[in-house]
């Protein structure tokens, strides 16, 4: 069992008010692990005091999203002590930051704390208490330098390379994967995630042709690959460099991308965002031929490029243009015809890339069919060889039996000759005696 959090008995006793959501952190997880329980140091203020605790992901220094783990409801003891609540499920990732939350119901609970603690912050918000349940992280008010005595007990676990293979043609994830390099392969043709992936570079591959995420990805380098042709995100991606690749042809985001360098690439041909992107350098690349944003970009520089976009002079002030404004600007700047030709070229290139992908899929299917046919032919040849060997062995046995029968017949003939000779001699003797 290991511990992370503020594992210190605070010098001052204070209250967690009823329906008050209090978060302390952020705390960096020292290792991968499964959360077993959460504890706070304090006691009940009255017999009706009840408490539920939980753990949340940290995004840009703020508790974010649904809880990673939620404890069972407990009634704290009367005396000040570490009050423990068990956790049914939940995991942490080494190097990731988390917030530990406590909320009281029924009556206030006392919890000890220290003021002016370096590197720790306390957030709180008003929510409605629900036994053994916690909401998604609410909008919070910061109380800087306040550390509550609260900690997480966990069992170190996880490992590197939870799934690794050269030709993992299809992979579907509906549960949870934990560990560094949770999915790695040279030719992972299709990957669908409806669960949770946690760890450093949870997806990495040379030719990950298709990836769809409706769950959660957490960890630095959440997706990285040389030729990730299509990536669709309707869930949440958290981590430094959440999407990185040389030729990410198409990325559609209707979920959330968070942390610095949320999208990095050399030749990301098309990117559409209807969700939210947060982090310093949220979009960076050399040749983004098209970028459409109907969501939000947070923290400058919102877009940074090394070349390839010639229409946006001030990327830190980039905003979505209406179609009429875009047309007027292009006509005014004399780029309309050039842009139209460039767009047609781009659309043709995307169509060619998709056609190549379809042809590659067909070639792979044909190769698999040919391989199966060769295996079948080899099996038939092996059966024929076995039959030929059996026939030769049978013929050999028959020849041996024939030779043995011939030998026995010759021996019998010799014995008959011997008997005939003896009989003839006996007859001669009898005739001589009778004379």
Q: What is residue 14's DSSP assignment?
A: E
CA–CA gap between residue 327 and residue 308 (Å, rounded): 20
Find, among 199, 196, 190, the residue nearest to 215 by Cα.
196
Q: Which CATH number applies to 2-156?
A: 2.60.120
Write down the pTM of the prediction: 0.40
- pLDDT for 93: 95
Q: Across the strands, what pairs with 183?
A: 163, 203
- Residue 249: enclosing H or E segment and its boundaries? none
CA–CA gap between residue 258 and residue 9 (Å, rounded): 34
116-155: b (≥16 Cβ within 10 Å) or e? ebeebbbbbbeeebeeeebeebeebeebeebbbbbbbbbe
Q: What is the pLDDT along the chain (435 residues), one digit of tens a residue?
A: 789 999 999 888 888 888 888 888 899 999 999 999 999 999 987 778 899 999 999 998 889 999 999 999 999 999 999 999 999 999 999 999 999 999 988 888 888 988 865 556 777 788 889 989 999 988 887 766 678 899 999 999 754 445 655 555 566 666 566 665 567 665 555 677 776 676 656 777 665 656 777 777 766 666 776 656 566 777 776 666 667 666 655 667 777 776 666 676 655 556 667 777 766 566 666 555 456 666 666 654 445 444 333 333 333 334 455 667 766 666 665 555 566 677 778 888 888 989 999 999 999 999 999 999 999 999 999 999 999 999 999 999 999 999 999 999 999 999 999 999 999 989 888 888 887
Q: How many CA atoms lie within 13 A of 184 on its CB side?
A: 14
- pLDDT for 49: 87
- Residue 403: enclosing H or E segment and its boundaries? helix 336-434
- pLDDT for 168: 55
Backbone angle region of 59, left / alpha / beta, with phi > 0 → left and psi within -120 to 50 → alpha: beta
- pLDDT for 310: 32
- pLDDT for 301: 44
Residues whose CB is less than 8 angstroms from the CB of residue 428 and which lie 6 or more positions away in sequence, other chains included: none
Note if the bond before 117 is cis, omega within 30 degrees: no
- pLDDT for 175: 56
Question: DSSP letters of 71-131?
Answer: BPPB---SS-EEEEEEBSS-EE-TT-EEEEEEEEESS-EEEEEEES-TT-EEEEEE---BT
- pLDDT for 98: 96
Domain ranges of the chain: 2-156, 163-320
């Amino acid at each position: 069992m290991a511990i992370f959090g503020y594992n210190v008995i605070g010098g001052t006793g204070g209250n967690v008010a009823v329906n008050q959501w209090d978060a302390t952190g952020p705390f960096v997880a020292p290792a991968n692990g499964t959360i077993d329980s959460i504890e706070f140091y304090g006691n009940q203020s009255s017999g009706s005091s009840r408490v539920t605790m939980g753990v949340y992901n940290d995004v840009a220094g703020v508790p974010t999203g649904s809880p990673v783990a939620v404890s069972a409801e407990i009634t704290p003891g009367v005396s000040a002590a570490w009050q423990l609540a068990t956790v049914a499920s939940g995991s942490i990732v080494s190097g990731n930051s988390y917030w530990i939350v406590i909320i009281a119901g029924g009556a206030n609970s006392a919890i000890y704390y220290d003021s002016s603690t370096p590197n720790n912050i306390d957030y709180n918000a008003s929510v409605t208490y629900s036994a053994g349940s916690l909401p998604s992280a609410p909008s919070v008010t910061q109380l800087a330098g306040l550390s509550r005595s609260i900690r997480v007990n966990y069992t170190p676990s996880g490992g590197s390379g939870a799934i690794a293979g050269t030709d993992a043609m299809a992979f579907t994830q509906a549960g949870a994967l934990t560990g560094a390099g949770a999915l790695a392969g040279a030719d992972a043709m299709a990957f669908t995630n409806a669960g949770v992936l946690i760890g450093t570079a949870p997806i990495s591959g040379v030719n990950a042709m298709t990836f769809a995420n409706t769950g959660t990805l957490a960890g630095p380098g959440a997706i990285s690959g040389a030729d990730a042709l299509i990536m669709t995100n309707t869930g949440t991606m958290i981590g430094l460099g959440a999407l990185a690749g040389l030729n990410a042809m198409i990325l559609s985001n209707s979920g959330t991308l968070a942390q610095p360098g949320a999208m990095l690439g050399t030749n990301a041909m098309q990117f559409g965002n209807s969700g939210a992107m947060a982090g310093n350098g949220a979009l960076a690349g050399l040749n983004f031929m098209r970028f459409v944003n109907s969501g939000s970009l947070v923290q400058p520089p919102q877009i940074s490029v090394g070349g390839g976009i010639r229409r946006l002079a001030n990327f830190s002030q980039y905003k979505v243009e209406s179609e009429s404004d875009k047309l007027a600007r292009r006509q005014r700047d004399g780029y309309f015809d050039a842009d139209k030709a460039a767009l047609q070229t781009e659309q043709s290139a995307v169509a060619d890339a998709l056609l190549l992908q379809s042809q590659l899929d067909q070639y792979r299917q044909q190769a698999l069919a040919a391989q199966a046919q060769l295996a079948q032919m080899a099996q038939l040849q092996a059966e024929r060889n076995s039959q030929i060997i059996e026939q030769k062995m049978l013929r050999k046995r028959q020849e041996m039996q024939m030779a043995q029968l011939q030998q026995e017949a010759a021996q019998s003939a010799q014995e008959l000759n011997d008997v005939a000779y003896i009989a003839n001699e006996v007859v001669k003797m009898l005739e001589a005696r009778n004379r």
